[in-house]
Amino acid sequence: MYVLERALHARWAGVLFAIFTAIAAFGIGNMAQSNAIADMLVAKKLDLFLNYPDSTIKLWVGLILSIATGLVILGGIRSISNFCQVLVPLMAIFYVLGCLILLGSNWERIPSTLSLIISSAFTGQAAVGGFVGAGIAEAMRFGIARGLFSNESGLGSAPIVAAAAQTKDPVRQALVSSTGTFWDTVVVCAMTGLVIVSSGHWSDTSLTKATLCQHSFQQLGHFGSIILVGGLLTFVFSTIIGWGYYGEKALEYLFGIRAIPPYRWLWILMVFLGAVWKSESVWNLSDIMNGLMALPNIASLLLLGGVVANETNRYFSAKNKALKSHSR
């Protein structure tokens, strides 16, 4: 929002972006996250919840997750935040390791898996309308929507937290931020997709989104369950906390810091509601708000492309000069 206001002299666009961000945060960073973990635990039917109906499980998940969120964003408990900073990278390593083990055990299916993914993306196999155009349009629609969920590229959310970083040069911070796209999508999401398709469970129409991943990891036994549930819990919780910060900054831009306390209470409530709400409604709302949020941000990227190129050239020219002088 500050880029739109100060670089493009378009405060109205900054206001629009802040409004869309504050609302979109409740989708991509809040309700969709608590909904995902609730659906996963309902599908897993852990011993703790074995004798409870699905609705009760979702109520408990929503309650526990909202309390944990409240402890962090209301009480400012640093120990939980520090714990997440250690736990999330550790769980990411375990998740990637689990995917590698599964792909290694199914190595003979990987060529056919890659072929199936590519052919399905460019043919009418998955076409809703029964023809090639519909299949490609559907693949693009879900590919872009879920790509935004995985790495937020084009949304403009990452600069909100990058702006708070302590760095010697803005280009250096931009380069660090850009690696998130690679790790989120090219590594973690690509591996997940390969695991699901190579397992063969993708063709089972009786499986939901939550149970599809669960069945794919069953090959690892209890270790697979620990990786899946543990990874999802840590990723979900860290995303909820992170997007809570994005929403706060957007609201602060619009109304000042006085708007933050009520926003935090609303944030905690929506975490609970996301866990018990119907999943399709949550995802559809998230997709709409993500699209609205991306529009002003992508426009700014196009209009400021020259500035980005000049700053990048300046940064690398300075580094090259420093390296040459150091070598002498």
**Structural domain for 302, as ranges:** 2-319
pLDDT of residue 128: 46
In a domain, 299, yes or no: yes
In a domain, 324, yes or no: no
In a domain, 326, yes or no: no
pLDDT of residue 79: 56
Average of pLDDT values for 56-60?
Answer: 85
Is residue 130 predicted with pLDDT exceeding 60?
A: no
- Better pLDDT: 137 or 60: 60
In a domain, 128, yes or no: yes
pLDDT of residue 3: 92
In a domain, 283, yes or no: yes
Q: Taking Cα atoms as reference points, which of 235, 229, 227, 224 lies closest to residue 201?
A: 224
Q: Please, which residues have CB within 8 angstroms of residue 35's CB and are 6 or more apart in sequence? A: 274, 275, 277, 279, 282, 283
Average of pLDDT values for 142-170?
Answer: 81
User: Domain total for the chain?
Assistant: 1
- Better pLDDT: 315 or 133: 315
Query: pLDDT for 63-104, tens place per residue?
Result: 999 998 888 888 755 655 666 677 778 888 888 888 898 888
In a domain, 81, yes or no: yes
Is residue 266 predicted with pLDDT exceeding 80?
A: yes
pLDDT of residue 307: 92
Taking the alpha carbons at both ends of the chain, their separation in whole angstroms is 44
Q: What is the CA radius of gyration of the chain?
A: 22
In the chain, % helix, strand, coil (3-state, to 5) comes to: 85, 0, 15
pLDDT of residue 127: 45
In a domain, 231, yes or no: yes
